[in-house]
Amino acid sequence: MTTPTPESNSSDLLTTSSSSIVKSQIAALQALQSLLPSDQAPLLPITIEKAVPLPPIANSAPLGLLGFALVSILAAVPKLENRSPTDGLLFVVALFLGGIAQVLAAVLQYYINNLHGATTFALFGLHWSAQSILLFARDNNELTFSKSPDSSEAAVYYATITTATIMLWVASFKKNRVLCSALFFVIFAFGFDVPAAFGHRWAEVGSAIAAIAASLIALYMAFVDVVNEAWGTQLLSVFPVQQPQLDSK
């Protein structure tokens, strides 16, 4: 016959105490249930209803693609003309079409579980939002950050965003060939901005040409999505990548 130890006594005491608490809570719920009208839902047992599925939404990719294309083409014009973007049109387009439109498209792409599309639109949308703030500050000398960015800092930034675009480009190999081509030119658009930050004219021209090429492809992708959905059939193609068929033998 074993003698109960102090540890076993304390364990039994805790078990008895917790059991008493549970019983008292159940009794309180049952007493409260008796005070409610009979047509009310019972408090016990507690049931969890299934979440109501949200309705489907439209494809937000054309909105983001149009915003990217318009702001990229507009930003390429001053580079080709070898002048600074001093007018207010680029600021407004960069803020709303390049920034807000692409960020909104990114949020909706997250909703439909498209990680690649959401990351792409969020990256480029936030980039153009930052560029619009820099344009606004450049035209307002009273702001503390009204000076142009340092060449080294700008080069590091463009090198970093070029690396991020390469990541998106590699991931697009599993998507479609048109998207892959667009990101390919975006890599050169950002990549040429690295030497352009140090004042190299040839790099500015190369960045502008690559940005225009990427924008034209983005316009085509938006056109494909809108037209195919409107007609209810695949009139145009983005040339999706064929997935390899696994041998079942």
Model confidence pLDDT, tens digit, residues 146-170: 566 788 999 999 999 999 999 999 9
Q: Is residue 33 part of a domain?
A: no
Q: pLDDT tens digits, residue range 196-213?
A: 999 999 999 999 999 999
Q: Are the C-beta atoms of residues 73 and 214 closer than 8 Å to each other?
A: no
Q: Give the residue, 194 or 243, on which the prediction is more confident.
A: 194
Output the pTM of the full model: 0.75
Question: Does residue 216 belong to any structural domain of this protein?
Answer: yes
Residue 114: inside a domain: yes
Average pLDDT, the chain: 84
Q: Are 74 and 108 within 8 A, CB to CB?
A: no
Within-domain flag for 234: no
Q: What residues does 240 pair with on adjacent strands?
A: 176
Domain that holds residue 84: 61-229
Round to whole Å and give the CA distance between 238 and 65. Answer: 14
Q: How many domains does the chain have?
A: 1
